[in-house]
């Protein structure tokens, strides 16, 4: 009897709470509007929001494992939701100060949640082109799908080289590197997609693949969702969970040969790029540039600018992690130019 009484109390309390919430919402929508014409555009009895939350909670973004970096004003623009909000408005590379109570990347970081209390709250906060941190004279504009990828690329970009390279094709000038972490930092996928960020050290300009102009980040990363393992708002492309493997389903509209066997290695592209990465890695190690134990540059040491440019380009592809999927032609040209240079040194 005690259990039944407790159960009825919980049900009664929940019903009362729901009634109060719905009554309050109906009476006081945004700016005095009837919430039935606003809030309920999103807050329906459908499972739409529930599914997205379920997926996003399983994503790496949602883990908040690097939100502590938000206390640093240089890191806050990408490691704290409040920091991202600030720099979208200011256009600065850093926040004014570090964020003391940093929130991880969440729904409100990317979407205009509860701005109008209508379905337009699903809109992205920004889709505008922007100047990347590594070079303020450059512009990133991934215009496909209304520029949605510009939102992602604002964080998925390289930092500026410090010390910087004034003549990346020079074999004469030398620069002393004192930090083993010299390089483009992590997560430059937006730059690779846009075909930007690498130093052109060869005779020919680097090319681009169709993905740059015919796909968006969410075309693939937000594609067909399988539970909270891959796709949708998990933003995850591959998993070992439940033996699902690569979410190749998102590739099939353009790549009919995609299958569980090929995964993302369609036409052997990833194998090719991985082989080139290994080749350049060995050459950089032989030139006493790359420490293959830490995968950092060897320091303290003076380097020719062209050596640093090749190392930067190598780390840009290493940090991209797609092995050519994001922009095969750009990736191939970057690596081939580095291999050609190292070959010219007899390595």
Output the pLDDT for position 209. Answer: 97
CB-facing half-sphere around the CA of 25: CA atoms within 13 A: 16
The residue to which tokens 């933003």 are assigned? 235
With beta carbons less than 8 A apart as the criterion, state whether 275 and 153 touch: no
307 class by beta-carbon count within 10 Å (0-12 exposed, 13-18 middle, 19+ buried)? buried
First to last CA, the chain: 83
DSSP string, 171-229: SS-EEEE--TT-S--S--HHHHHHT-S----SSS-----THHHH--HHHHHTSS-BTTT
DSSP string, 136-167: TT--B---HHHHHHHHHHTTSSPPPPSSPPS-
Predicted model pTM: 0.89
With beta carbons less than 8 A apart as the criterion, state whether 330 and 208 touch: yes
Q: Quote the mean pLDDT of the chain.
A: 91
Output the pLDDT for position 244. Answer: 84
Mean pLDDT confidence for 50-69: 94
Mean pLDDT confidence for 152-159: 97
Query: H helices of 240-321, where?
Result: 269-286, 305-320
> What are 100-122's pLDDT values in tens digits?
999 999 999 999 999 999 999 99
Measured distance CA(341)–CA(345) in Å, rounded? 7
The pLDDT of residue 33 is above 90: no
Confidence of residue 31 (pLDDT cuts 50, 70, 90): low
Cα 243 to chain centroid distance, Å, stands at 25
- Cα–Cα distances (Å) from 238 to 49, 52, 195, 250, in that order, read 23, 18, 24, 11
Measured distance CA(208)–CA(186) in Å, rounded? 21
The pLDDT of residue 198 is above 90: yes
The pLDDT of residue 239 is above 80: yes
Mean pLDDT confidence for 267-283: 98
Output the pLDDT for position 112. Answer: 96
- Hey, what's the torsion of the CAs at 340, 344, 346, 347, to 10 degrees? -30
Output the pLDDT for position 88. Answer: 96
Confidence of residue 241 (pLDDT cuts 50, 70, 90): confident
With beta carbons less than 8 A apart as the criterion, state whether 300 and 177 touch: yes
| Best CA proximity match to 53, nearest among 105, 9, 107, 93 | 107
For the chain, give the percent of residues with pLDDT over 70: 91
With beta carbons less than 8 A apart as the criterion, state whether 151 and 124 touch: yes
């Amino acid at each position: 009897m005690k259990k039944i009484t407790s159960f009825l109390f919980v049900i009664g309390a929940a019903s009362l709470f729901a009634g109060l919430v719905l009554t309050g919402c109906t009476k006081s929508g945004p700016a005095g509007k009837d919430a039935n014409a606003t809030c309920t555009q999103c807050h329906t009895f459908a499972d739409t929001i529930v599914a997205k939350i379920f997926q996003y909670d399983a994503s790496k973004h949602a883990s908040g494992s690097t939100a502590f970096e938000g206390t640093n004003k240089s890191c806050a623009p990408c490691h704290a939701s409040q920091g991202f909000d600030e720099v979208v408005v200011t256009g600065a590379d850093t926040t004014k100060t570090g964020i003391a109570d940093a929130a991880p990347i969440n729904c409100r970081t990317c979407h205009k949640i509860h701005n109008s209390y209508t379905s337009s709250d699903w809109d992205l906060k920004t889709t505008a082109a922007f100047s990347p941190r590594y070079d303020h004279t450059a512009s990133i504009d991934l215009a496909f799908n209304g520029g949605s990828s510009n939102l992602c690329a604002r964080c998925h970009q390289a930092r500026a080289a410090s010390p910087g390279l004034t003549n990346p094709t020079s074999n004469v000038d030398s620069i002393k590197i004192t930090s083993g972490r010299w390089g483009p930092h992590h997560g430059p996928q937006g730059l690779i997609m846009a075909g930007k960020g690498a130093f052109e050290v060869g005779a020919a300009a680097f090319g681009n693949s169709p993905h740059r102009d015919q796909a968006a980040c969410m075309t693939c990363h937000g594609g067909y969702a399988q539970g909270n393992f891959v796709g949708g708002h998990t933003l995850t492309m591959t998993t070992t969970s439940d033996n699902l493997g690569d979410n190749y389903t998102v590739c099939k509209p353009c790549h009919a040969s995609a299958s569980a066997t090929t995964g993302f290695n369609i036409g052997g592209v990833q194998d090719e790029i991985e082989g080139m990465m290994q080749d350049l890695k060995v050459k950089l190690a032989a030139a006493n540039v790359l420490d293959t134990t830490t995968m950092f540059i060897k320091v303290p040491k003076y380097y020719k600018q062209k050596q640093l440019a090749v190392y930067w380009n190598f780390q840009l592809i290493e940090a991209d992690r797609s092995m050519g999927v994001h922009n095969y032609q750009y990736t191939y040209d970057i690596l081939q130019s580095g291999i050609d240079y190292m070959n010219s040194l007899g390595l």
